[in-house]
Amino acid sequence: DIHMTQSPSSLSASIGDRVTLTCRASQSIAGYLNWFQQKPGKAPKLLIYETSSLESGVPSRFSGSGSGTDFTLTISSLQPEDFGSYYCQQSHSVPLTFGGGSKVEIK
Amino acid sequence: QVQLQESGPGLVKPSQTLSLTCTVSGGSISSDTYYWNWIRQPAGKGLEWIGRIYPSGSTHYNPSLMSRVTISIDTSKNQFSLKLSSVTAADTAVYYCASVGYCRGGICHKEFAFWGQGTLVTVSS
């Protein structure tokens, strides 16, 4: 199985801050990395697919980058509605696996 | 736009079989444009992929659950289903059905673009 490690596990940031979340795969997954946002009591929502493609309707302040084993999700200017948990997920090989999540709180 | 809705019992006794159904609307479950997944999330914890089924009926399962999981598809009802046998308290979770965004020419994109709202299944006597 490909193990996904996210950091930090939690962070608190102010409105307008630039926030960077990282995700590391235990082996190369090429560009098959997706990012999800989840709010309490809700299903996850796809933000970024295949490392850097922005899902339709997702604000452009979200961006993704990386390759191989190291990936990042950046929120260029944190907004109040960006609180929640963020998960990375590899779709390179079965079993599909998720990172443990990064919880973003607004200061 | 594909929409998914989970249904099934919210309470299952230990050692019994958990059975859930996902009803798909806005798209045909038999179309090779999509494939269909089950994912679960224990309270306060992360996401675990359970398995997926293709319109052909071909399946992939998470090895950690493979001995207990069956995913099936009913094209006449536009539904797919999950059965998890010999459940314990560790199987208590919110269960989601989800689909890939689209497949074209055998290549699929936008993993888990569409999700159901999730259904809580509690394993308890």
Give pLDDT, residue A45: 98
Q: How far is A51 from chain B (nearest CA, A)?
A: 11
In this predicted structure, the answer to whether residue B96 has a pLDDT above a threshold of 90 is yes
Give pLDDT, residue B47: 98
Please check whether residue B89 touches A, CB under 8 A: no
Q: Do B117 and A87 touch (CB under 8 A)?
A: no
Label residue B106 by pLDDT band (50, 70, 90).
Answer: confident
Q: How far is B14 from chain A (nearest CA, A)?
A: 25
Q: Which of B109, B8, B116 is nearest to A34 (CA)?
A: B109
Mean pLDDT of the B94-115 span: 91
Helices (H) and strands (E) in chain A, counts: 0, 11
Can you read off the two tokens belonging to residue B53? 């089924």
Give pLDDT, residue B102: 85
Mean pLDDT of the B15-42 span: 95
Label residue A15 by pLDDT band (50, 70, 90).
Answer: very high
CB-closest option in B46, B115, B117 to A101: B46
Label residue B121 by pLDDT band (50, 70, 90).
Answer: very high
Report residue B47 CA to chain centroid gap: 13
Chain mean pLDDT for chain A: 97
Give pLDDT, residue A94: 95
In this predicted structure, the answer to whether residue B101 has a pLDDT above a threshold of 90 is no
By C-alpha distance, the chain A residue nearest B118 is: A43
Q: How far is B107 from chain A (nearest CA, A)?
A: 12
Q: Do B110 and A44 touch (CB under 8 A)?
A: no
Give pLDDT, residue B50: 98
Q: Which of A74, A72, A51 is nearest to A63 (CA)?
A: A74
Give pLDDT, residue B108: 87
Give pLDDT, residue B17: 98
Give pLDDT, residue B35: 93
Mean pLDDT of the A15-27 span: 98
Question: Which of helix, strand or coil describes residue B8?
Answer: coil
Report residue A76 CA to chain centroid gap: 13
- Cβ atoms within 10 A of the Cβ of A77, count? 12
Give pLDDT, residue B105: 84
Give pLDDT, residue A8: 97
Mean pLDDT of the A63-74 span: 97
